[in-house]
Amino acid sequence: MTPGASGTAPEVVLGVGGGIAAYKSAEVVRRLAALGAKVTVTPTTAALRFVGAATFEALSGRPVLTDVFTDVPSVAHVHTGQDADLVVVAPATADLMARAAHGMADDMLTATLLVTRAPVLMVPAMHTEMWAHPATVANVALLRSRGVVVLDPAVGRLTGPDSGPGRLPEPEQIAAVAELLLHRADALPRDLEGVRVLISAGGTREDLDPVRYLTNRSSGRQGFALAQVAAARGAAVTVVAANTALLTPPGVTVVPVTSARELHAAMLDRAGDADVVVMAAAVADFRPARRADAKIKKTGDDGAPTLELVRNPDILVDLVAARRPGQLVVGFAAETGDATADVLTYAREKLARKGCDLLVVNRVDGGRAFDTTDNAVTVLGAGAAEPVAEVPFGPKALIAAAIWDAVGLRITARCPAG
């Protein structure tokens, strides 16, 4: 975790708006504390009707700050915002965002938002009609224009029988974005507005029989981190996900697939509508020549059966061959070095062979990269003698931000202003 301004654990203010989703904010406190942050909770008066101050104080180990008359001698309504390294508001109700957008400061939370110069993350939760109302749309646009990170809400069950956009994202998703902003305050600019993104994620499975398959260790975390960051930066994102068990990022469409051929078909079918295509999935190079209709039996002392394998299609090569003018294609390479050459030598050869615009290089020796929350990568660009970026070990969302930085520069170069 990146230390705060004082060089110690970062100071995070968690604002809680007065909506039913406030019950999830207790878990947000726990997850922020698990990142190593010191958390101060500033609920609105309405929020305390859903979750009591004692709950927040027990989880944070700090007094709850509720109004501008709390701790008057230390001017808490000012120094709370001044001392913060990050302010998270979850849930951010329509009323709270309206007051924040128009500079109101009639309670501790809105005063803190007006004082702070730290990054601000707002996570909306409200009924679909409220989220879609022109007033809320305008307030969100105004907040974003000032640099506030406003996530799109999740789609799902709301209060009562209603369902639709407006659900608070899950606490682990909120904490992941908070962690990214603590590492890099500038990680989520709205620089991908209007950009259509297609991402593959996860690891494909190739059936041997009804109960067995060939696969790999990919969890899909990097692909989903790419999706979450791209959506937060304004892109319209679709993920073709192979065998993942991850939460759908807010504002992202997920298309589930199983095998390499299914992934190939889904990506090629949707790539024509995308401005950026990212092949982050770990695709099986081979599949069994035949799938047994019944479970392969172990009989007597005959030993193990011999498996005949055939090649799967090279999805990245086919995406590059089919790309339309102006489309950017990003590939991933899982590499290890050997006595013949190092990782980057093999990666540069792959970049030239595949023909994509960027190649993200994972060193996968020693249990790195696959099924982990953190990683380090090198980003190579076509025709560049030096790496575009060396991303040190850290959360996969931080890697995603660096990749989108590189993509954004190329989008700007291909479509200059004016």
pLDDT in tens, the chain (418 residues): 555 555 689 999 999 999 999 999 999 999 999 999 999 999 999 999 999 999 999 999 999 988 777 666 665 668 888 899 999 999 999 999 999 999 999 999 999 999 999 999 999 999 999 999 999 999 999 999 999 999 999 998 888 788 889 999 999 999 999 999 999 999 999 999 999 999 999 999 999 999 999 999 889 999 999 999 999 999 999 999 999 999 999 999 999 999 999 999 999 999 999 999 999 999 999 999 999 898 988 876 667 888 899 999 999 999 999 999 999 999 999 888 787 888 888 899 999 999 999 999 988 765 555 667 899 999 999 877 677 889 999 999 999 999 999 999 988 776 655 4
Note if the bond before 91 is cis, omega within 30 degrees.
yes
- Cβ atoms of 91 and 123 within 8 Å: the answer is yes
Q: Which residues contact 35 (CB under 8 A, 6 or more apart)?
A: 1, 175, 178, 179, 182
- Catalytic annotation present for 312: no
Rounded to 5°, the CA angle 137-138-140 comes to: 65
Q: Report pLDDT for 418.
A: 45
Q: What is the pLDDT of residue 385?
A: 66
CA distances in angstroms from 261 to 122, 264, 287, listed in the order given: 40, 5, 10
Per the DSSP assignment, residues forming a β-bridge with 289 are: none
Q: Which listed residue (216, 243, 362, 375) is catalytic?
A: 216
Q: Are 48 and 23 in contact (CB under 8 A)?
A: no
Complete domains list, the chain, with CATH: 11-183 (3.40.50.1950), 196-414 (3.40.50.10300)
At residue 15, the 3 state secondary structure works out as: strand
Instruction: State the pLDDT at residue 74.
Output: 64
What is the C-alpha separation between 86 and 81, in angstroms, rounded? 9
- Backbone Cα Rg of the chain: 24
CA angle centred on 337, ends 332 and 339, rounded to 5°: 155
Phi and psi at 298, nearest 5°, equal -95, 115
Residue 314 to residue 63: CA distance in whole angstroms: 57
In this predicted structure, what is the pLDDT of residue 103?
95
- The CA distances from residue 121 to 86, 91, 130, 332, in Å, are 8, 10, 19, 30
Strands 11-16 and 86-92: parallel
**The pTM is what?**
0.92
What are the φ and ψ backbone dihedral angles of 340, each rounded to 5 degrees? -85, -45
Beta-bridge partner residues of 303: none
> How is residue 139 annotated by DSSP?
H
Give the model's pLDDT for residue 75. Answer: 57
